[in-house]
Amino acid sequence: MTTAAPAVEAGGLTKTYAGGVKALDGMGVTVAAGTVFGLLGPNGAGKSTTVKILTTLARPDAGTARVAGHDALRHPDRVRRAIGVVAQKSGADPVATGRENLLLQGRLHGMRGTALTARADELLARFDLAAAAKRQVRTYSGGMQRRLDVALGLMHRPQVLFLDEPTTGLDPEARTAMWQEISRLAGDEGLTILLTTHYLEEADRLAERIAIVDRGRVVTEGSPDELKGELRGDAVHVELRDAPDEVDARLLATALGEFAAVREVAVDGRRIAARADDGPAAVPHVLAVLEQQGATVASVTVARPSLDDVYLRYAGRRFADAEEAAGAKSAGGAA
């Protein structure tokens, strides 16, 4: 399974739009088959442009893109058969009913007869749209429309699913439900998923690997834990029941310091602070050392660095600030 070719493999992508906007500047992404990959970045980073190229909608100025084993630039038709696309903008036909939208989508993929209708009804049930199946889509709530969008992307059982901001605009409850559905797709159905998001939390929760995108290229990539681990250090805080005297405190610090997994040990009264590459893994060892030294532990907490910290480090600005800057830019420019 791990030897299979990547489901998505793109590199050196550049694209400049007519107005001179450089949307992509050496963008690249590789997604292993059967995994969920997250593209995380602020407004205007180039996430949607990347998705449009990988889904054969747009053409890059330069670079290569292979999806599901086919060259997206030379054989877009083959790629289209293998992919499901949920674009940032809902593509459903508002005047058609939910079911009609699904049936047409299936037909365009060559599905016919009972295979077609059974699949449509299965998806309507699964996305909790069965009751609204015969209503025109313009009467749907935002959450219902988004669920229909995902159902449309899944209609023909694609190998690779692209989700461009699947949860933007959803309320927390709908978002949680969508997260569960996406996790299920990845888990039970072995689908390869490339999703884009603004939400650090979403990428952290859904994606096995994440690429942080800023200004048209990937600034860093890894599993959420790797990325956070690269910040060299969870903060480990231990509170002792009794404050050690000065000598004991020095002994404790020395004992902990001998042990490679933790650094920057500081004992201050009852509180011991240290940094560890992998905080949770270090906790049992820290506890063992303290017990050996005869200290009684009242509590232990591990604070992990957030993806926001990662973003700050690689993009050189806070995620929220980048969002704000992009927002101000687009509000100032023409619509």
Ligand X SMILES: Nc1ncnc2c1ncn2[C@@H]1O[C@H](COP(=O)(O)OP(=O)(O)OP(=O)(O)O)[C@@H](O)[C@H]1O
Candidates 31, 32, 45, 212; binder of ligand X (CB under 6 A) is: 45
Query: 210: which DSSP letter?
Result: E
Q: Rule CB under 5 A: say whether 197 interacts with Mg ion.
A: no
* Number of residues binding to ligand X, judged by CB under 6 A: 14
Q: To the nearest whole angstrom, how small is the minimum distance from the Cβ of residue 46 to Mg ion?
A: 8
Q: To the nearest whole angstrom, how small is the minimum distance from the Cβ of residue 38 to ligand X?
A: 13
Query: 5: which DSSP letter?
Result: P
Candidates 34, 38, 41, 60; binder of ligand X (CB under 6 A) is: 41
- Judged by CB, which is closer to another protein: 43, or 90? 90
- Judged by CB, which is closer to another protein: 56, or 192? 56
* Number of residues binding to Mg ion, judged by CB under 5 A: 3
Length of the chain as a residue count: 335
- Judged by CB, which is closer to another protein: 16, or 43? 16
Side chain identity at residue 259, one-letter code: F
Q: Do 287 and 297 meet the contact criterion of CB atoms below 8 Å apart?
A: yes
Q: Is 100 exposed, middle or buried (0-12, 13-18, 19+ CB in 10 A)?
A: middle
The two three-digit tokens of residue 254, written as one number: 């020395």
Q: To the nearest whole angstrom, how small is the minimum distance from the Cβ of residue 108 to Mg ion?
A: 24
Q: Is 210 exposed, middle or buried (0-12, 13-18, 19+ CB in 10 A)?
A: buried
Q: Which residues are bridge partners to 10 per DSSP?
A: 29, 65
Question: E-assigned strands of the chain?
Answer: 8-16, 22-31, 36-40, 62-67, 70-71, 83-86, 160-164, 192-197, 209-214, 217-222, 234-240, 262-268, 271-276, 297-303
**The entry of Mg ion, another protein, ligand X, none that residue 21 binds, CB within 5 to 8 Å by partner kind:** ligand X
Residue, CB closest to Mg ion: 48
Site for ligand X in 186-215 (CB under 6 A): 198
Number of H helices, E strands in the chain: 12, 14
Q: Rule CB under 6 A: say whether 293 interacts with ligand X.
A: no
Q: By the criterion CB under 8 A, which residues form the site for another protein?
A: 17-18, 52, 55-59, 77, 80-81, 83, 85, 87-96, 100, 104-105, 107-110, 136, 152
Spatial separation of the C-alpha atoms in residues 7 and 286, rounded to whole Å: 42
Q: Rule CB under 6 A: say whether 88 interacts with ligand X.
A: yes
Spatial separation of the C-alpha atoms in residues 137 and 90, rounded to whole Å: 11
Site for Mg ion in 45-74 (CB under 5 A): 47-48
Stretch that binds ligand X, among 15-23, 138-146, 242-250, 273-281 (CB under 6 A): 15-23
Please state, as a whole number, how many other Cβ atoms lie within 10 Å of the Cβ of residue 187: 11
Q: Rule CB under 5 A: say whether 168 interacts with Mg ion.
A: no
x/- map, 75-114, Mg ion, by CB under 5 A: -------------x--------------------------
- Judged by CB, which is closer to another protein: 110, or 172? 110
**Could you list the residues that contact ligand X (CB under 6 A)?**
17, 19, 21, 23, 41, 43-49, 88, 198
